[in-house]
Amino acid sequence: MFRKVLIANRGEIALRIIWACKELGIKTVAVHSDVDSDSLHVRFADENVCIGPAPSRQSYLNINNLISAAEISNADAIHPGYGFLSESPEFARVCEACNITFIGPSPETIALMGNKAEAKLTMKAAGVPTIPGSDGPVPTPDEAKRLAADIGYPVILKASAGGGGKGMRVIRSEADMEMAFQTASGEAAAAFNNGDLYIEKYLENPRHIEIQILGDKHGNVIHLNERECSIQRKHQKLIEEAPSCALNAMTRKQMGEMAVHGAKAVNYATAGTIEFLLEDGKFYFMEMNTRIQVEHPVTENVCNLDLVKAQIMAAAGEKMTWRQKDIKIWGHSMECRINAEDPIRFIPSPGRITTFHAPGGPGVRVDTAAYAGYFVSPHYDSLIAKLIVRGPTRADSIMRMKRALESFIVEGIKTNIAMHIKIMDDPDFIAGNLSTRFMERYLPENQK
């Protein structure tokens, strides 16, 4: 097992990793930018190192500074969390070259799955169902038009190197292709240094269902069932739950087996997620995330295990103690992402939190690095807390979530807490009538 782990991240996930390390008896090193010196991850880690100024490029994304911090503090492993460098093959490669274990997949696997067009081809070749579309990147708008005519409109253009919903465009007719192609490609080039786009059929009303995977370095791969993440805005998740009310036992089993099959095809040996879209009872591979995800706690709740600890143990070369048959689903769990954002326009609302009271009580977990007096910096993600509940049934989770949201007090900045309460009261949400377009009804232009 590792002696000391450096956490190349900030916020709630840095704290989450510190908790896992403490329970495993591992020392921790926090890194922080200039503006994060008062952060809780800095306070609760055993050691801390300042890695640069506020802009991420100069601190949390600065590989040289992170490696120097690991060397100075004598850390034998680095946990990248999610976001930042968690899916950077280059970072994983540099860690390897410096004899520091990267807690994640090999650089080759990250690179392969990080290119979404290639990942899709790889999964297709392994027999995993994929959404009809191009085999790899599409070079020109004319080629995109030709393919779209075959696939049938509407289609979606997606960035090969994409993430966070950037570089995506839905196209409903050929006349819109030229313009959409140029803007999506420009957006992708600016965000990811890679303007490549691929094209696929746009599914009108799908559900986003993903399967949690866990592997070890001894060739074992299991799945921990699904999470439903259909409640999204701007293609980004807002509410996640496990299990999904859309799956019957047979589809659940098929999706789980396909995900394990896909993971084995790329020799997967750590925690990861295979994302699918589900429509009319059919599911299609969308992408693989080769890291721990924001929404991992709902899986921890229903499967009764600690995914971050499992991930660290797998990276240290330990053999998994679970077999697929040991994985059961206990009750239901739901997560609301509490963001510092204007709830109407979905734009960030940074600033100082003056009052902060997190809910508690039976079945409630709050993963957060915020506190009264904490400054939500405009430099980083607007997620300030994850409110997670568990209950015997989905109906119990909804009631519990509602009462927890109602006693969650955050003042000084805008948050989306009130909007989450509205969703908990929405008859379609309660009935489980979900799709990735569910949130459109809450857009200002659709409000009466």
Binding to ligand ADP in span 138-177, by CB under 6 A: 156, 162-165
Residue placing its CB nearer to ligand ADP in the complex, 60 or 82:
82
338 touches 401 (CB < 8 A): no
Q: Does 208 bind ligand ADP (CB under 6 A)?
A: yes
C-alpha span between 372 and 352 (Å, rounded): 8
With binding defined as CB under 6 A, does residue 283 bind ligand ADP? no
Q: Residue 417 CB, nearest distance to ligand ADP (Å)?
A: 23
Catalytic site includes residue 291: yes
Number of residues that bind ligand ADP (CB under 6 A): 19
Nearer to ligand ADP, 65 or 436 (CB): 436
Catalytic choice (291, 337, 365, 390): 291
Q: How far is the CB of 183 from ligand ADP (least distance, A)?
A: 16
Asked if 202 is part of the footprint of ligand ADP (rule: CB under 6 A), the reply reads yes
User: 264 with 274: CB under 8 angstroms?
Assistant: no
75 DSSP assignment: -
Among 105, 206, 215, 412, binds ligand ADP (CB under 6 A): 206
CA nearest to 354, candidates 408, 413, 415, 414: 413
Output the six-digit token pair for 146: 């030709």
Cβ 319 to ligand ADP, closest distance in Å?
Answer: 31
Under the criterion CB under 6 A, does residue 231 sit at the interface with ligand ADP? no
Q: Smallest gap, in angstroms, from Cβ of residue 422 to ligand ADP?
A: 20
Does 129 participate in binding ligand ADP (rule CB under 6 A)? no
**Region near ligand ADP per CB under 6 A, out of 44-52, 76-84, 202-210, 379-387:** 202-210
Kindly state the smallest distance separating residue 230's Cβ from ligand ADP, in Å.
8
Least distance from C-beta 257 to ligand ADP, angstroms? Answer: 21
Instruction: Classify 285 as helix, strand or coil.
Output: strand
User: In DSSP terms, which residues pair with 28 in a beta bridge?
Assistant: 5
Q: Given the rule CB under 6 A, which of 83-91, 179-187, 200-208, 341-349 is the region that contacts ligand ADP?
A: 200-208
The DSSP element (H or E) to which 401 belongs, if any, is helix 394-406
H helices of 2-115, where?
Answer: 11-24, 40-44, 63-73, 89-97, 107-114
Nearer to ligand ADP, 275 or 367 (CB): 275
**Active-site residue list:** 291
Binding interface with ligand ADP (CB under 6 A): 131, 156, 162-165, 200-203, 206, 208, 232, 235, 275, 277, 286-287, 436
